[in-house]
Amino acid sequence: MVVLRAAARRLAVFLGTVLVASLVIFLMMQALPGDVAQVALGMGASPEKVEELRQTWGLNRPLAVRYFEWLGGMLHFDFGSSLVKGQPVVDQIRPRLGVTAWLVGLSIPLSLLVAIPMGLTSAMLRRRASGALINALSHVGLALPVFFLGAVASMVFAVKLQWLPANGYRSFAQSPGEWALRMILPVGTLVIVQSCFLARYVRTGFIDVLSEDYYRTARASGWTKWRGLIRHGMRNMATSLVTVVGLQVSSLLVGAVLIEQVFVLPGLGSLLVQSVGSRDLMVVQAVVMLLVFAVLAINFLVDLLYLWIDPRLRRGKTA
Partner 1 sequence: MKKLTLIVGLVCSGFVVLVALVSLVWTPFDPTKVSTHRYGGLSWPHILGTDGLGMDTASRLMTGAQTTLLVGILAVGIAAVIGVPLGIYVGMGHKMLGEVVARASDILYALPALLLAILLAAAVGASVMTATVAIGIATIPIFQRMARAATLTVMSQDYILAAEVAGTPRFIIALRHILPNIAPLLGVQAAASFSMAILAEAGLAYLGLSAPQAVPAWGRMLRDADIYTAPGQAVIPGIAIAVAVMGFNLLGDGVRDYLDPRLREVR
Site residues for partner 1 per CB under 8 A? 13, 16-17, 20-21, 24-25, 28-29, 31-33, 132, 139-140, 142-148, 151-152, 154-155, 159, 200, 203-204, 207-208, 211, 250-251, 253-254, 257-258, 261, 272-273, 275-277, 279, 281, 284, 288, 291-292, 295-296, 299, 319
CA distance 183 to 265: 10
Minimum CB separation from partner 1 for residue 135, in Å?
A: 9
CA distance 32 to 10: 34
Minimum CB separation from partner 1 for residue 315, in Å?
A: 20
CA 216 to chain centre: 38
CA distance 150 to 34: 37
CA distance 210 to 216: 8
Minimum CB separation from partner 1 for residue 269, in Å?
A: 9
CA 238 to chain centre: 20
Please identify, using beta-carbon distances, which residue of 2 and 143 lies nearer to partner 1. Answer: 143
Please identify, using beta-carbon distances, which residue of 49 and 66 lies nearer to partner 1. Answer: 66
Minimum CB separation from partner 1 for residue 127, in Å?
A: 9
Please identify, using beta-carbon distances, which residue of 167 and 171 lies nearer to partner 1. Answer: 167
Minimum CB separation from partner 1 for residue 129, in Å?
A: 10
Whether the Cβ atoms of residue 70 and residue 80 lie closer than 8 Å to each other:
yes
Helix (H, G, I), strand (E, B) or coil at 76: coil
The set of residues, in sequence order, having a beta carbon less than 8 Å from that of 49 and lying 6+ positions away, is 41
Please identify, using beta-carbon distances, which residue of 179 and 293 lies nearer to partner 1. Answer: 293
